[in-house]
Amino acid sequence: MKDYLILGASILGDAPTDVVVRDGNIASIGSGNAEPRANVPMETIDGTGLIALPGMVDLHVHLREPGREDAETVETGSRAAAKGGFTAVHAMANSSPVADTAGVVEQVHRLGQDAGWTEVYPVGAITKGLGGKVLAELGAMAESSAKVRMFSDDGHCVNNAQLMRRAMEYVKTIDGFVAQHAQDADLTGWETESPAQMNEGRVSATLGLPGWPAVAEEAIIARDVLLADYVGSRIHICHVSTKGSVEIIRWAKERGIQVTAEVTPHHLMLTDELVKSYDPVYKVNPPLRTEADTQALREALAEGVIDVIGTDHAPHPEQAKECEWDQAAMGMTGLETALPAVQHAMVETGLIGWRRFAEITSIRPAEIYGHTHQGRPIAAGEPANMILIDPSAATTVHPGTHASKGRNSPFRGIELPGEVRHTFLGGLPVMLDGELATPRSTGSAA
Amino acid sequence: MKHLLDTQGLAYDDALAILDTADEMTAVSSREVKKLPTLRGRTVVNLFYEDSTRTRISFEAAAKRLSADVMNFSAKGSSVSKGESLKDTVQTLDAMGADAIVIRHSASGAAAQLAASDWSEAAVINAGDGTHEHPTQALLDALTLRRGWSAAHASSPRGSDLSGMRVLIVGDIVHSRVARSNVWLLRTLGADVHLAAPATLLPYGTDSWPVTIHYSLDDALSAAPDAVMMLRVQAERMGGTFFPTAAEYARRWGLTDERLAVVERLRQGTTDAAALILHPGPMNRGVEISSAAADSPQAKILDQVAHGVAVRMAVLHLLLSQRQPDGSHDE
């Protein structure tokens, strides 16, 4: 393994300095102490104009394997993660078969290790088959070699309040936590002939598409924070999308309820006005909301009411999006556009600096999951999960160049700021100069 | 105008051009030889993903009276269930040389998606997409209203709009593409649009529409509309989640014999001409409209049907006669 000397990079936007990466860790910070070791080659990376950030940690991706390898595989999704600057991703359970047994989560975990571009942590289903009826084998998944700690039926809401209460209680006994996809099934016409298709409001009234009302999300969040308080568990809310949800989470945090919340880059930037094109690339669950919602989400993320960015990376094959709106699949890719989108929505607007950026994309998600080697400071002795980004770059999004199999990026054709140039995974540069380099080989230390 | 997708984006001048042309086309339909040579050699495809015999034969009659060749493509059910995507179907029709595609689809936005795609160069006419719009229905309603309004004022309909006319639309607005298309078109033509419905049948977000909303049909009638348009209540809405029963709907929202007596006293503006009753059909007699109201001299329901052919002739004529055979378009 080589040593790496990064010259003149700015850690979290501070004054430029040098960083030495050695044996998987950050060996030193500061100029003048970068003497090469005997018999160990040292590669120099020009960090001029680049900002060093802790590798991003995504609590919410869909890697589609097993079952939908035409949409994405753990390998291609891992490549997309490395290119996007993520050193850890958490793969949701809605694969086929569902990740509701030790066998499936171990398979996904092993595929992630074999790929070696990022760390892949499978998320276990809360209920068997995502059916919302009976608990999945949460203990077996926790004790498996994948050591699952996060449980979610994402894509489906756990609508049954009694089951949700018991899931929150049960995961306490295995040191896990539950992440809820907050969507009241009745209010969104789920499993009916006319399920909700877009945000309910002025635009849906005109377009004649069944509406997904904000209250369908807010009612479940309100219920679940009360349940979390009642049973003394913690709860993570996936992809918060409305202004009203922000108000409920703010209230819950003020009461000391253990709630954490996530927002996607697309909900920070895009609104339901885009649906007027009827282009299914804008179809997503929860749906794109209004300008007032995006503003509230940005402010909540800056203040800390919302804790983290989660991409909800959801690749789909072309035919699933090149069809009538009401038949199109829901979801957007996100791994390779997350940093530019968040820089655009949060940093360029002056709402946050790079220190807060590191908190929402790395430090807090790692804390929520309980990782001790991710989301760490860029300091001597720390694991070298780190990215170098060029904040002054401006790039037009071309989904065809993405490493993900999915081409369903809502940002296509849009120029966004910021570019990930280098990604270090455990001291190894899995991406160098904007190009994928070498994956970590199986068996190396995580 | 390259396509006719909705009335929300239909300019005032284009709307009047369609109505004026349709007025000329009604003359053709009353001639002994009901045919014009305008679209000889052009091919019009009726691509119907929903059963709608009325609309399909209206378009078919319109195309044939303009001497176009007509192909009917019935694709029942969704693209998923029938195993071919909209894209593949449309590319197939394009390869067969369709100059215009008249599309009826259960999915809102299907016509707009087709027009925005590169699947076909054909002119796209929306014959009803989901619960979004049904622009030719609104145009035939406007033609009917304009004839009634100008007759009441003893003026020529040609070139005139609906300024000053108050039109009341009653019933299931939320599921109605007819209502949406009428709201935008009637507003563009200067009418004062009122809606009357239970709140469950009005879309959330209607407060942003340029209309006056009534929750009581009797209040709406006391606002003295010049025309009353009753919408069909679909049988599947009668299951008790939007309103309790068909009987309660008829009592509160139907044009009953008692309310017909009120409508019979309404006059168009300051004239002596009786107010108009419209219905897009097919009617549920005894639910949203009583038999006496449907058969009243004030009812223009069969005129609407006749005007449907004329309006569709006008739309096909205006869209296709300005197009080159290669699909390019003269401005």
The pLDDT of residue A34 is 75
Q: Give pLDDT tens digits for A283-332.
A: 999 999 999 999 999 999 999 999 999 999 999 999 999 999 999 999 99
Residue of B316, B331, B329, B265 whose CA lies nearest to B4? B316
Q: Give pLDDT tens digits for B311-321.
A: 999 999 999 98
Are residue B229 and residue B290 in the same domain, yes or no?
yes
pLDDT for residue A150 is more than 60: yes
With respect to residue B103, please indicate whether it lies within any of the assigned structural domains: yes
Residue of B180, B252, B249 whose CA lies nearest to B217? B252
Which chain B residue has the Cα nearest residue A276? B109
Q: Do B203 and A203 touch (CB under 8 A)?
A: no
The distance of B114 to chain A (nearest Cα, Å) reads: 9
With respect to residue B327, please indicate whether it lies within any of the assigned structural domains: no
Are residue B90 and residue B143 in the same domain, yes or no?
no
For residues A17 and A3, what is the distance between their CA atoms, to the nearest angstrom? 17
Q: Do A325 and B177 touch (CB under 8 A)?
A: no
The pLDDT of residue B174 is 95
> Cβ distance B195 to B116 under 8 Å?
no
The pLDDT of residue B321 is 87
Q: What range does the domain containing B180 cover?
A: 135-305
Instruction: Spell out which residues of chain B touch residue A206, defining contact as CB-CB under 8 Å.
Output: 8, 180, 205
Are residue B109 and residue B181 in the same domain, yes or no?
no
User: Any known ligand binding at A312?
Assistant: yes
End-to-end CA separation in angstroms for chain A: 15
Is the pTM of the predicted complex or chain greater than 0.90? yes
Instruction: Spell out which residues of chain B touch residue A318, defining contact as CB-CB under 8 Å.
Output: none
With respect to residue B325, please indicate whether it lies within any of the assigned structural domains: no
For residues B8 and B135, what is the distance between their CA atoms, to the nearest angstrom? 9
pLDDT for residue A338 is more than 70: yes
The amino acid occupying position B329 is H
The percentage of chain A sitting over the pLDDT mark of 90, rounded to a whole number, equals 96
ipTM field? 0.93
Q: In chain A, what are the domains?
A: 3-51+380-436 (2.30.40.10), 55-369 (3.20.20.140)
With respect to residue B38, please indicate whether it lies within any of the assigned structural domains: yes
With respect to residue B6, please indicate whether it lies within any of the assigned structural domains: no
With respect to residue B3, please indicate whether it lies within any of the assigned structural domains: no
Q: pLDDT confidence of B52, banded at 50, 70, 90? A: confident
Are residue B129 and residue B270 in the same domain, yes or no?
no
Q: At what angle do helices A243-254 and A291-303 cross, to 10 degrees?
A: 30
> Cβ distance A63 to A96 under 8 Å?
no
Are residue B194 and residue B207 in the same domain, yes or no?
yes
pLDDT for residue B77 is more than 70: no
Nearest by CB to residue B107, choosing from A202, A279, A324, is A324
Q: Give pLDDT tens digits for A205-227.
A: 999 999 999 999 999 999 999 99
A42, two tokens: 């040292």
Q: CA of A37: how far to CAs of A9, A27, A34, in Å?
A: 22, 12, 9
Are residue B122 and residue B163 in the same domain, yes or no?
no
Nearest by CB to residue A206, choosing from B8, B79, B80, is B8
Q: Give pLDDT tens digits for B8-50.
A: 999 999 999 999 999 999 988 788 888 999 999 999 999 999 9
For residues B47 and B210, what is the distance between their CA atoms, to the nearest angstrom? 33
CATH of the domain at B275: 3.40.50.1370
Neighbours of A1 (CB within 10 A): 13
**Arithmetic mean of pLDDT over chain A:** 96
Are residue B247 and residue B121 in the same domain, yes or no?
no
pLDDT for residue B145 is more than 50: yes
Q: Give pLDDT tens digits for A14-42.
A: 999 999 999 999 999 998 767 888 889 99
Residues on A contacting B at a C-beta cutoff of 8 Å: 197, 200-209, 211, 213, 277-279, 319, 322-327
Q: Do B180 and A206 touch (CB under 8 A)?
A: yes
Neighbours of A13 (CB within 10 A): 15
Which of the two residues, B198 and B329, has the higher pLDDT score? B198
pLDDT for residue B330 is more than 70: no
For residues A126 and A110, what is the distance between their CA atoms, to the nearest angstrom? 21
pLDDT for residue B297 is more than 60: yes
Q: Do B105 and A324 touch (CB under 8 A)?
A: yes
Mutate: best of B114, B118, B182, B204, partner A, most A CBs <10 A: B204
Which chain A residue has the Cα nearest residue B119? A322
Nearest by CB to residue A207, choosing from B109, B113, B209, is B109
Are residue B282 and residue B159 in the same domain, yes or no?
yes
Neighbours of A36 (CB within 10 A): 12
Please write down the long-range contacts of B146-152, taking CB distance under 8 Å and 24 or more positions apart: B146/B19, B146/B189, B147/B303, B147/B307, B148/B227, B148/B268, B148/B273, B148/B276, B148/B300, B149/B226, B149/B268, B149/B269, B151/B273, B152/B268, B152/B269, B152/B271, B152/B272, B152/B273
With respect to residue B246, please indicate whether it lies within any of the assigned structural domains: yes
Three-state secondary structure of chain A: CCEEEEEEEEECCCCEEEEEEECCEEEEECCCCCCCCCCCCEEEEECCCCEEEECEEEEEECCCCCCCCCCCCHHHHHHHHHHHCEEEEEECCCCCCCCCCHHHHHHHHHHHHHHCCCEEEECECCEHHHCCCCECCHHHHHHCCCCCCEEECCCCCCCCHHHHHHHHHHHHCCCCEEEECCCCCCCCCCCCCCCCCEECCHHHHHHCCCEECHHHHHHHHHHHHHHHHHHCCCEEECCCCCHHHHHHHHHHHHCCCCEEEEECHHHHHCEHHHHHHCCHHHCCCCCCECHHHHHHHHHHHHHCCCCEECCCECCCCHHHCCCCHHHCCCCECCCCCHHHHHHHHHHCCCCCCHHHHHHHHHHHHHHHHCCCCCCCCCCCCCECCEEEEEEEEEEECCHHHCCCCCCCCCCCCCEEEEEEEEEEECCEEEEECCEECCCCCCCCCC
Q: Give pLDDT tens digits for A220-257.
A: 999 999 999 999 999 999 999 999 999 999 999 999 99
Q: Do A325 and B132 touch (CB under 8 A)?
A: no
The pLDDT of residue B260 is 98
Q: Do B132 and A208 touch (CB under 8 A)?
A: yes
Which chain A residue has the Cα nearest residue B207? A202
Catalytic residue, chosen from A18, A272, A312, A390, is A312
Are residue B160 and residue B269 in the same domain, yes or no?
yes
Mutate: best of A193, A207, A322, partner B, most B CBs <10 A: A207
Q: Give pLDDT tens digits for B239-249.
A: 668 999 999 99
User: Any known ligand binding at B281?
Assistant: yes
Residues on B contacting A at a C-beta cutoff of 8 Å: 8, 78-80, 85-87, 105-110, 112-113, 116, 129-133, 177, 180, 203-206, 208-209
**Arithmetic mean of pLDDT over chain B:** 93
With respect to residue B7, please indicate whether it lies within any of the assigned structural domains: no
Are residue B80 and residue B108 in the same domain, yes or no?
yes
For residue A220, with 0-12 CB atoms within 10 Å meaning exposed, 13-18 middle and 19 or more buried, which class applies? buried
Instruction: Spell out which residues of chain A touch residue B80, defining contact as CB-CB under 8 Å.
Output: 327
Place of tokens 């990215």: A387
Q: Do A202 and B208 touch (CB under 8 A)?
A: yes
pLDDT for residue B331 is more than 50: no
The helix/strand/coil state of B214 is strand
- A272 flagged as catalytic: no
For residue A200, with 0-12 CB atoms within 10 Å meaning exposed, 13-18 middle and 19 or more buried, which class applies? buried
Are residue B69 and residue B23 in the same domain, yes or no?
yes
Are residue B60 and residue B192 in the same domain, yes or no?
no
User: Any known ligand binding at A373?
Assistant: no
pLDDT for residue A405 is more than 60: yes
Mean pLDDT calculated for residue range B171-179: 96
Count of structural domains within chain B: 2
The percentage of chain B sitting over the pLDDT mark of 70, rounded to a whole number, equals 95
The helix/strand/coil state of B312 is helix
Mean pLDDT calculated for residue range A269-283: 98
The helix/strand/coil state of B167 is strand
